[in-house]
Chain A
């Protein structure tokens, strides 16, 4: 399609869609205007029913906790698929050093980078753990805290280099984290069934409002999500970074080139 035809198509689309969009935008309620009865009901009921002060965690881990179990399985399946796809082609061997694009200059790492990355990686990891621990109290929770903690691994790569990074961030440890997190969530859903309750029913003591361990079963589910997310995203970063390592003495021959 040539440029005038594209512009003509754009003009027609604008003529049709712009008035519709404008009328919709003008008919929208103002910011902060309470609209959803569900949201208002959760805000009114959850602090007394579940003793938590983070309503998003109450919705995700308790009120529609089964949905989150499905999302947990999606994450597990997506990471497993990525690992199988990448590792199946590349093999499980570990390289000695990172690869590089030939002809692209690699500047040596400065001491300031190393020092800053050590501080920042530690601080970022601790911040992720803090966010996980306060999941039912303040904004954040297992998913957000887990991703933040996992992203601190990349600062290790930046600061310490490939070999040290591979020594610190262990694949099997991440596997165990991810698998045990998903398993713990499934158990949290299934164990109440064995006692004659509904799946994921909050049978644990709820604790006190605004306390670190408030929310009963939500605390356990929150930690399970955090484990799975740290393991899953750590594994994802590890497998992608492995794609850029130096390819020497790769035990698996490249089938496509034969």
Chain B
């Protein structure tokens, strides 16, 4: 199991780096999505299924979705003015 934990730790560092390095907000949201997915797999590998479920629901689905909706609303509002 420890190799899986090590690999997932490396992947989560990579995914977090991608979130920081992507400059386009929409791509950043998708990177955040991927980061949430990797983190939830990491929590699962660390035998914390409760936290993994919360992370996959909040960090991978709801938060990126709210960001996407906010970006769309801002773009529509800009186009209206």
| Residues of A near any B CB (own CB < 8 A) | 31-32, 54, 56, 99-104, 131, 139-141, 143-144, 147-148, 150-151, 154, 233, 236-237, 240-241, 243-244, 247
Contacts and interface: CB of A to CB of B under 8 A. Distances in A.
B58 interface: yes
Contacts, number: 63
Interface of B: 1-2, 5, 46-47, 49-50, 53-54, 57-58, 61-62, 65-66, 69-70, 72-73, 75-76, 79-80
A104 B73 CA distance: 13
Contact of B47 (A32, A131, A143, A247): A32
Among A100, A237, A244, residue most surrounded by chain B Cβ atoms (within 10 Å): A244
B57 A151 contact: yes
Given A101-B72, A101-B75, A144 B54 contact: yes
A225 B72 CA distance: 31
Given A147-B62, A236-B62, A240-B69, 11 more contacts: A54-B50, A101-B72, A102-B79, A140-B49, A148-B53, A148-B57, A237-B65, A237-B66, A240-B65, A240-B66, A240-B73
A154 B53 contact: no
Given A131-B53, A139-B53, A141-B50, A151 B76 contact: no
